[in-house]
Amino acid sequence: GQGVEQPDNLMSVEGTFARVNCTYSTSGFNGLSWYQQREGHAPVFLSYVVLDGLKDSGHFSTFLSRSNGYSYLLLTELQIKDSASYLCAVRWPNYNVLYFGSGTKLTVEP
């Protein structure tokens, strides 16, 4: 639902950075959440953004452009353990319902 799109895979190198992109349909938007999910585990909340601009949270930062229906999750100083899937989810105005993209599998190489 809500046309949430993410690339399937992303590869990067330890010590550098990775940017995980997400696009969505702008109708009914009430914020966007990012989750990390490791294989065989539940999604873990990382960040919620509702205002335009960059939200710096240290290792994880998030950017939002509401007019363009675009967000990204930026991971800096990558570590091997950052290898996981990153899920983007648009929050619907009613009852905090989340509509997820298919997730981006990030692989961090030595």
Return phi, psi of residue 38, to 5°. Answer: -90, 155
Q: What is the footprint of other proteins within residues 36-75 (CB under 8 A)? A: 41-45, 48
- Integer Cα distance of 24 and 4 in angstroms: 4
Comparing CB distances to other proteins, the nearer of 3 and 15 is 3
CB 26 within 8 A of CB 69: yes
Nearer of residues 1 and 15 to other proteins, judged by Cβ: 1
d(CA 74, CA 26): 21
What does DSSP assign to residue 92?
A: P
Q: In this chain, which stretch among 21-29, 58-66, 71-79, 96-104 interacts with other proteins, using CB under 8 A? A: 96-104
Number of residues located near other proteins, criterion CB under 8 A: 21
Whether 9 and 86 have beta carbons less than 8 Å apart is answered as: no
Q: Which of 23, 73, 82, 101 binds other proteins (CB under 8 A)?
A: 101
**Which residue ranges make up the site for other proteins (CB under 8 A)?**
1, 4, 6, 33, 41-45, 48, 87, 89, 95-103
